[in-house]
Amino acid sequence: MRRGIWADQNTYALALAALGIAVIGIVAAVQTQLGGDWWVPIPGLAVTSIVALLGTRRARARLGPDPVSFYEAFATTSTQDALAQLLAKLVAARTKDVPSVLRRQRIALLAVAGLFAITAIYSMLLLGVE
């Protein structure tokens, strides 16, 4: 597996969700200083946190052949042929399916970060923060 900034995307998504919830708590705590429009960032932060939490659900990558159908198809073949076919299917899953799942998770994580940025921008505009 590739390591680096995307090594554990679920951790980043959970951190963004926690950040959103923490900022909601801070906004609620300092609502008197923010005036009547103190609630403006809360819907965006709530939606962003929920989207981040939903992004951590288990992605279903095909990690090889279905065991039942594989054993039905290769029960009568030689062990070497069955293992060669199993290895070919595992390599195909690792090179095709797993990267596509990670790519979808990465796009979802970037969407959550974008929602946070949009929430910050509209909150600053509506609250008049300079």
Give the contacts of 70 (CB within 8 A, at least 6 positions apart).
85, 86, 89
CB atoms within 10 A of CB 28: 12
Q: Rounded to whole angstroms, how far apart are CA atoms 109 and 53?
A: 10
- The position carrying tokens 């008049």 is 128
Q: pLDDT tens digits, the chain, 130 residues: what are they? A: 454 444 577 788 888 899 999 999 998 998 888 888 888 899 999 999 998 888 777 655 556 677 778 778 888 888 888 888 888 888 877 777 777 777 888 888 888 889 889 988 888 888 776 5
Beta strands in 15-115 (DSSP E): none
Q: Which amino acid is at 102?
A: L
